[in-house]
Amino acid sequence: MSKVCEITGKKVMTGNHVSHSNIKTRRRFYPNLQTKKFYVPEEDAWITLRVSAKGIKNISKKGIMACLLDAEANGLIRL
């Protein structure tokens, strides 16, 4: 399973780990993903999403259905 938020589209980034002696080695920055169940009252059903912490905040602010429609418009999920 890929490490991509289904609401915001956040995914793994790459960069450098820089030591005290300024030696650079490649590393990965992972998104803060959580597996969470949400209730969709329009469909009277529970759905399970893999969302980042920012995605959970967006759902709390705008509502689950608005976020799902935005994610579908951006090509992140299919309803």
Sorted by where each begins, the domain ranges of the chain are: 13-73
- 54 contacts 8 by C-beta, under 8 angstroms: yes
Long-range contacts of 31-37 (CB under 8 A, 24+ apart): 31/3, 31/4, 31/5, 33/3, 33/5
3: its two tokens: 């490490």
Judged against a pLDDT cut of 90, whether residue 74 lies above it is answered with: yes
Residue at 37: amino acid letter: K
Whole-model pTM: value is 0.85
Q: Could you tell me which CATH number the domain at 13-73 has?
A: 2.30.170.40
Determine the average pLDDT of the residues in 4-8: 96
Question: Count of alpha carbons within 13 Å of 8, Cβ hemisphere only?
Answer: 19
| Nearest of 37, 65, 72, 61 to residue 51 by alpha carbon | 37
- Residue 38 is predicted with a pLDDT of 97
